[in-house]
Amino acid sequence: PYYPEEAIHNGWEGEVELLLTIGPDGKVSRAELLNSSGYESLDQAALAGAGGWKFLRYLDRKIHVPVQFALNE
């Protein structure tokens, strides 16, 4: 996912844990926030990014996915 400009400017980092429902076509049919990073902009970026993901193995199930936001110095 993209790193929100607000988060970059403020030096925010964190991990977001998502629960993704993967359809038989490999696309994410639903993304839910399980654990927040503590920053709404990072949480929303993770959710928005996951909505466009496609998995090569068609899982047709739910999976937990951590999304790490870290700034490089």
Separation of alpha carbons 48 and 35, rounded Å: 15
73 confidence band (pLDDT: 50, 70, 90):
low
Phi and psi torsions of 49, nearest 5°: -65, -40
Question: Would the pTM of this model clear 0.75, i.e. be above it?
Answer: yes
- What's the pLDDT score for residue 55? 86
Contact 22, 63 (CB under 8 A): yes
pLDDT at 49 over 90: yes
- 10-37 burial code (b ≥16 CB/10 A, e <16): eebbbebbbebebeeeeebeebeeeeeb
Which of 55 and 4 is assigned the larger pLDDT?
4
Q: How many CA atoms lie within 13 A of 23 on its CB side?
A: 10
Mean per-residue pLDDT over the chain, rounded: 92
